Amino acid sequence: MKKEDLCLVVMDNCLEFGKKVDKRIQKIRKTNKSYIIPSQLVRFSDGEGKVKLLESIRGKDVYILSDTHNYNITYQMYGKEHNMSPDEHFQDIKRTILAMMGHAKSIRVVMPFLYESRQHRRKSRESLDCALALQELERLGVDNIITFDAHDPNVQNAIPTMAFDNFYPTNEILKVFFKKEKFDPENTLIISPDAGAMDRARYLADILRADVGLFYKRRNLKKIVNGQNPIEAHEYLGRDLKDQDVIVVDDMIASGGSLFDVAKECKKRGAKNIYFFATFSLFTAGAQKFIEAHKEELFSKIYSTNLTYVPEEILNSEWFVSSDCSDYLADIIDCINTGDSISELIEEHSAIKNFVNKR
């Protein structure tokens, strides 16, 4: 595929991030030409909308970039300001695809946070949203899904004939972490907050040559509160936490409730510094809980990425450190567009280990 075939359609929900990706690709290809194709999202006063591409994409390898969890995007509906939900962002992705069907050479959707990824499997009478969303994109002619740290990568089995590339920003987070913190593997424990995050914790522990521990959530299966079975206790499996630095690793931070519970349990057991590692920081209950928890020295810092929207209030906080993943995504897009192998970008294990060894 020719380099000239590449074009980016950057949705309103990730304009700043998309421009950084574009700049990086320009630098790689030693050009001043932008690869972003301008588009226009028209929103009617009743909430309906449409997408219009302002330049031709005929014969192009198109990459649609969208942050489906950017709740800061608003529009006027029936005279009132309305914050967009993930459902609406996903609908706009489909509108964008419809605007280019039959003209683009290939269509690839870049969703750093995979839409509906937490609803990846069915229990009893439940909807199977993530699988259905992926199948919708497949039926619309999408050739490839590019995402980061999918809640359950096995969801790609819903679309066995379509490419699904899942990347991890572990290296990007570690680079920032090592610049900010003193690290001693002998006195550091990598903690999984639940059984579901154990693979991530083991992976990070292997890279850092540190021990791993696990907190098991014992839930009340007879009750449902806010859509979940409430946690009754956190059981710990692992070595003594006394005087240890702790890294609690998970794919996302939502309200922060379970992370705070784990941090409290670690403090009870004598842990020193507690760091949270998360690919996505959603802060669904706002920042105040985290501000208070940091004042109480419940945790030292949160290390995360800019793959989803984070409000300025949190970005400017002393306890939040964001790693920029725009260069990483640009490298991925450049490799795919030119037909080069992306195996080194997917399987960064050896590269990260070399980086850690240098430290």
Structure confidence at residue 146 (pLDDT)? 97
In the chain, helix, strand, coil percent, each to 5? 35, 25, 35
Residue 43 has pLDDT above 80, yes or no: yes
Q: How much is the pLDDT for 197?
A: 84
Q: Are 218 and 245 in contact (CB under 8 A)?
A: no
Q: Tell me the whole-structure pTM to 2 decimals.
A: 0.91
Q: Helices (H) and strands (E) in the chain — how many of each?
A: 11, 16
Name the band, by pLDDT with cuts 50, 70 and 90, for residue 359.
Answer: low
Q: What DSSP string runs through 194-237?
A: SGGGHHHHHHHHHHHT-EEEEEEEEE-TT--BTTBPPEEEEEEE
Query: Integer distance in angstroms from the first to the last C-alpha of the chain?
Result: 39
Strand partners, 352: none
Answer whether 325's CB lies under 8 Å from 305's CB.
yes
- List, in order of start, the domains of the chain with CATH numbers: 3-168+325-341 (3.40.50.2020), 170-323 (3.40.50.2020)
Question: In terms of Cα–Cα distance, which of 100, 110, 29, 33 is closest to 65?
Answer: 110
Contacts with 87 (C-beta within 8 Å, 6 or more apart), sequence order: none
Residues 356 and 359: their CA atoms lie apart, in Å, by 5
Whether residue 60 is predicted with pLDDT greater than 90 in this model: the reply is yes
43 in Cβ contact with 99 (< 8 Å): no
Spatial separation of the C-alpha atoms in residues 309 and 286, rounded to whole Å = 13
CB-CB neighbours of 176 under 10 Å: 16
pLDDT in tens, 190-246: 999 888 788 889 989 988 889 999 988 777 777 888 777 777 777 888 999 999 999
User: Mean of the pLDDT values across residues 144-149?
Assistant: 96
pLDDT value at residue 145: 98
Tally of CB atoms within 10 A around 50: 13
